[in-house]
């Protein structure tokens, strides 16, 4: 049912052309700026970790010490310091934190040698990411790969050790992807906490040690179950590229990494967000991580039936940004959601139309379909039925990643038994309807096709309007999610830095060049076996 509904291909061409021009315009801003978090991520790529005596991450300390040098990038002065002192990156950072070493501008006569050494260190840092990606490929081939759609569930206790217990239980119940929800407001912290954590509100801190602990737990249960269990977290907020690096080195498989979400829903400065998402996505691309975009959230603040076209428009924009950051199409987990009011007659018919349109517009991507939340009732029985219709729509329209709804969504953080019931619901529907889409044809000119036509036409109209006004202006006017944002305002604006003409950061070239291609390959039992390129068919 790949071409199940007729789509006006000239509109698709116009949509991609407009989205490409929108992304190109923003790329000019990206190429002219750096940020505090981009420079801190650069230091992490050199292998720097840990905190000082008052628990401030060393990368934050070094960047603050080098504030006046940041327009030219942290890499050149820091590598010069390493070479002049004879110290490793970690030792040099610790020396700066203790006040024993000082970062300074690099004299012209030392620059060629420093830049050559910086390029070598960048290649070594990227090689470490490549090694982690190869290890994932080996494990998927060795352990096995589940059928799609991936059953994706969340854990959110605040305690990483309890999260691991719940994640293992969910995997045993049938989950394929475990997402650790990040603690409330971590996206607004301008540093990454260090070490394992046992306290968090509404979720668990995203730290490198917490990533490592959860990865270990999922590897163990995956070996027991005979299928690779994927791990997801958040590369978003004020530390977006830093967390992307942590995910790449600790073998996360998916990361929420949207180019617009932090601007719209966390009021993070848009100029900073666009710069940060570029390095974050280069890292995710190199690491073989699937990014998840956040278009589903638009439908929690705007009406899903009336404003569904904004999801399509944003998917095209996110696709264009992803392409410019080297992400392959299978790594694009473009977002959409089952959020139309259940009281609307033919609600499920319209949901099918929306979901089928996304699937056909982005056939090589890995769409992530989000469950109902806005209209979930306190009645757990009714909620469970609504979730079942979401599961049906997902398998019927061929979605790749299904974040399961919970019958207690509107009441409390799901308990183990709630998650078990949701997985059981999804597994029954996915297996019971696995080939239904191959047996059904949509009526030409029917409700589904007319709805899809309307969404696409309105999305193109919006994209062409945004191309004329610019994305900054569109966000300022609230054209996505009905939320208005100030281009000069929001959190983190002070961390945006105009690049000097001699800006130096060889990690950008190293991440873009010579990368391996294709998703991890494995036995992938069943009809959705791997193609020649390794992409599940």
Residue 383 has pLDDT above 80, yes or no: yes
Average pLDDT, stretch 69-83?
98
CA–CA distance, 161 with 164 (Å, rounded to integer)? 5
Query: Which tens digit of pLDDT belongs to each residue from 127-167?
Result: 999 999 999 999 999 999 999 999 999 999 999 999 999 99
Of 330-334, 344-348, 400-404, 523-527, the least confident = 523-527
Out of 205, 228, 245, 261, which one is annotated catalytic? 261
Nearest alpha carbon to residue 241 among 227, 257, 252, 220: 257
pLDDT category of residue 3 using cuts at 50, 70 and 90: low
Tokens representing residue 210 in the block = 């917490």
CA–CA distance, 83 with 91 (Å, rounded to integer)? 12
What pLDDT is attached to residue 2? 52
Active-site residue 298, yes or no? no
Tokens 């475990």, residue located: 178
What pLDDT is attached to residue 409? 82
Cross-strand bridge partners of residue 290: 254
Nearest alpha carbon to residue 163 among 179, 177, 184, 176: 179
What pLDDT is attached to residue 537? 31
Q: Alpha helices, DSSP H only, in 347-482?
A: 347-361, 380-396, 416-432, 447-469, 471-476
Chain-centre distance for alpha carbon 273? 13
The DSSP annotation for 223-252 comes to HHHTSPPEEEEE--GGGHHHHHHHHHHTT-
How far CA 10 is from CA of 2, 3, 16, 448, in Å, comes to 18, 16, 10, 19
Out of 163, 368, 369, 387, which one is annotated catalytic? 368
Out of 296, 354, 400, 418, which one is annotated catalytic? 296
Which pairing describes strands 150-155 and 33-35: parallel, antiparallel, or unpaired?
unpaired
Active-site residue 368, yes or no? yes
What pLDDT is attached to residue 501? 97
Residue 514 has pLDDT above 90, yes or no: no
pTM passes above 0.75? yes
pLDDT category of residue 412 using cuts at 50, 70 and 90: confident
* Contact between residue 285 and residue 326 where contact means Cβ atoms under 8 Å apart: yes
What SS3 string covers 265-294? HHCECHHHHHHHHHHHHHHHHHHCCEEECC
What pLDDT is attached to residue 416? 83
Of 3-7, 154-158, 488-492, the least confident = 3-7
Could you give all domains of the chain from N- to C-terminal order, each with its CATH number?
148-448 (3.20.20.440)
Average pLDDT, stretch 72-83?
98
Across all residues in the chain, what is the average pLDDT? 94
* Cα dihedral 259, 194, 189, 30 sign: negative
What pLDDT is attached to residue 415? 81
């Amino acid at each position: 049912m790949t071409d199940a509904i007729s789509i006006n291909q000239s509109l698709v061409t116009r949509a991609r052309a407009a989205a490409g021009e929108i992304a190109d315009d923003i790329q000019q801003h990206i190429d002219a700026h750096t940020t505090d978090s981009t420079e801190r991520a650069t230091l992490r790529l050199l292998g720097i970790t840990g905190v000082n005596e008052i628990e401030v991450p060393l990368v934050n300390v070094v960047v603050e010490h080098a504030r006046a040098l940041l327009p030219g990038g942290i890499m050149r002065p820091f590598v010069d310091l390493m070479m002049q002192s004879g110290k490793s990156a970690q030792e040099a950072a610790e020396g700066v934190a203790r006040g024993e070493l000082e970062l300074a501008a690099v004299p012209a006569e030392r620059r060629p040698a420093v830049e050559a050494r910086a390029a070598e260190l960048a290649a070594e840092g990227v090689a470490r990411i490549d090694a982690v990606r190869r290890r994932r490929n080996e494990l998927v081939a060795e352990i096995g790969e589940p059928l799609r759609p991936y059953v994706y569930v969340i854990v959110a206790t605040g305690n990483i050790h309890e999260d691991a217990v719940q994640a293992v239980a969910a995997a045993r119940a049938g989950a394929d992807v475990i997402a650790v929800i990040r603690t409330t407001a971590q996206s607004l912290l301008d540093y990454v906490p260090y070490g394992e954590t046992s306290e968090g509100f509404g979720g668990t801190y995203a730290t490198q040690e917490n990533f490592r602990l959860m990865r270990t737990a999922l590897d163990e249960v995956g070996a027991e179950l005979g299928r690779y269990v994927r791990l997801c977290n958040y590369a978003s907020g004020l530390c977006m590229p830093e967390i992307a690096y942590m995910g790449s080195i600790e073998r996360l498989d998916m990361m929420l990494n949207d180019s617009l979400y932090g601007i719209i829903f966390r009021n993070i400065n848009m100029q900073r967000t666009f710069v940060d998402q570029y390095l974050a996505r280069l890292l995710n691309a190199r690491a073989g991580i699937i990014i998840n975009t956040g278009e589903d959230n638009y439908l929690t603040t705007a009406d899903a039936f009336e404003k569904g076209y904004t999801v399509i428009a944003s998917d095209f924009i996110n696709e264009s940004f992803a392409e410019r950051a080297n992400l392959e199409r299978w790594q694009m987990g473009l977002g959409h959601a089952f959020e139309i009011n259940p009281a609307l007659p033919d609600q499920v018919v319209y949901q099918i139309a929306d979901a089928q349109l996304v699937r056909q517009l982005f056939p090589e991507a890995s769409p992530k379909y989000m469950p109902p939340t806005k209209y979930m009732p306190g009645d757990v029985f009714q909620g469970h039925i609504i979730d079942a219709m979401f599961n049906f729509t997902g398998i019927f329209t061929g979605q790749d990643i299904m974040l399961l709804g919970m019958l207690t969504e509107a009441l409390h953080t799901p308990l183990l038994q709630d998650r078990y019931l949701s997985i059981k619901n999804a597994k029954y529907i996915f297996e019971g309807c696995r080939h239904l889409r191959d047996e059904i044809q949509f009526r030409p000119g029917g409700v589904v096709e007319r709805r899809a036509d309307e969404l696409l036409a309105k999305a193109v109209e919006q994209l062409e309007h945004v191309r004329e006004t610019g994305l900054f202006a569109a966000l300022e006017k609230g054209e996505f999610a009905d939320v208005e944002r100030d281009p000069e305002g929001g959190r983190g604006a002070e961390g945006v830095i105009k690049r000097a003409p001699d800006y130096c950061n060889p990690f950008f070239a190293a991440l873009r060049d010579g990368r391996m291609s294709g998703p991890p390959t494995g036995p992938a039992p069943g009809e959705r076996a791997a193609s020649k390129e390794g992409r599940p068919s």
